């Protein structure tokens, strides 16, 4: 059994895999890390290997605790990956993006794939059917846009995420919801349209914390998979330890 630990900007995801099957997923705040890890260890004593992916700062003792319990693989650009990385600055590429591309190689081999991860940021990553990762784009996510409107203006309120009722907002609240949510939907559909103009056989994956919220609003056909990153991390762990 494998333990996947994904440390994001806000939360930590723990996932337990039996080969390719996801059998447990927990999402906790960083302060709950040690408690959650001990809980998983008791429930799943057969876990031997662990992969740790972190886009934020992680206390050293957290890594030490994991290494005392499991054979730990730290995700970075020096590992083996099942694709050719054509990114000009591979050491600056987010580890979460590497895992997403790896997942696409395993689940959609020999296809042109655009992976869209809608989380704190919206990332777009493209890999060709020749297995070449070319790069993509990084854009502010839903919550970041709401917070930016509030933090960098004098009078706009901070709102909870909500699907706008109409395109034309007839109040400040309605206008913010329309601008943020409709803006992101138009952005994502527009990016997909441009890729499809060049790659007619394009496969599009939508994942991340806001994937379910956004998926039904898009006009383009996509595959929504909220566990795509975790599946990619599990694949990288197996790819590097066999």
Active site residues: 96
Length of the chain equals 242
Q: Is 117 annotated as a binding residue?
A: yes
Q: How far is CA 151 from CA 86, 138, 154, 179, in A?
A: 37, 21, 8, 16
Distance of CA 187 to the CA centre of its chain: 18
Q: Is 172 annotated as a binding residue?
A: yes
Q: Is 101 annotated as a binding residue?
A: no
Q: Is 95 annotated as a binding residue?
A: yes
Q: Is 120 annotated as a binding residue?
A: yes
Q: Is 13 annotated as a binding residue?
A: yes
Q: Is 125 annotated as a binding residue?
A: no
Q: Is 57 annotated as a binding residue?
A: no
Across the chain, which distance is largest between two alpha carbons, in Å?
Answer: 59
Q: Is 113 annotated as a binding residue?
A: no
Strand partners, 116: 124, 206
Angle between helices 228-241 and 95-107 in degrees, nearest 10: 80
Q: Is 86 annotated as a binding residue?
A: no
| Tokens 């103009």 sit on residue | 197
Q: How far is CA 148 from CA 23, 110, 145, in A?
A: 37, 39, 5
| Tokens 């004593």 sit on residue | 45
Q: Comparing C-alpha atoms, which of 229, 207, 225, 228 is closest to residue 53?
A: 229
- The number of helices, as runs of H, and strands, as runs of E, in the chain is 8, 11
Q: Where are the beta strands (DSSP E) in 8-120?
A: 11-18, 21-29, 49-54, 71-74, 84-85, 113-118
Q: Is 69 annotated as a binding residue?
A: no
Q: Is 11 annotated as a binding residue?
A: yes
Annotated binding site for K(+): 117
Annotated binding site: 6-13, 87, 94-97, 117, 120, 172
Annotated binding site for ATP: 6-13, 120
Annotated binding site for substrate: 87, 94-97, 172
């Amino acid at each position: 059994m494998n333990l996947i630990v994904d440390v994001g900007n806000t939360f930590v995801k723990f996932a337990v895999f039996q080969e390719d099957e996801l059998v447990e997923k927990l999402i906790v705040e960083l302060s709950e890390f040690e408690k959650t890890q001990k809980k998983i260890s008791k429930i799943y004593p057969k876990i031997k290997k662990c992969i740790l992916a972190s886009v934020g700062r992680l206390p050293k003792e957290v890594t030490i605790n994991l290494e005392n319990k499991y054979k730990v693989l730290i995700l970075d650009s020096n590992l083996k990956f099942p694709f050719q990385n054509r990114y000009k600055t591979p050491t600056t590429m987010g580890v979460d993006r590497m895992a997403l591309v790896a997942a696409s190689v395993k689940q959609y081999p020999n296809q042109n794939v655009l992976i869209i991860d809608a989380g704190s940021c919206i990332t777009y990553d493209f890999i060709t059917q020749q297995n070449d990762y070319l790069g993509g784009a990084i854009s502010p996510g839903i919550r970041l846009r709401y917070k930016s409107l509030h933090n960098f203006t004098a009078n706009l309120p901070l709102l909870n995420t909500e699907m706008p009722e109409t395109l034309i907002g007839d109040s400040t609240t309605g206008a913010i919801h329309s601008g943020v949510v409709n803006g992101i939907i138009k952005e994502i559909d527009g990016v997909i349209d441009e890729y499809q103009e060049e790659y007619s056989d394009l496969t599009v994956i939508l994942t991340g914390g806001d994937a379910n919220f956004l998926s039904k609003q898009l006009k383009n056909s996509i595959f929504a998979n909220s566990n795509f990153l975790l599946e990619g991390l599990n694949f990288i762990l197996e790819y590097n330890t066999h």
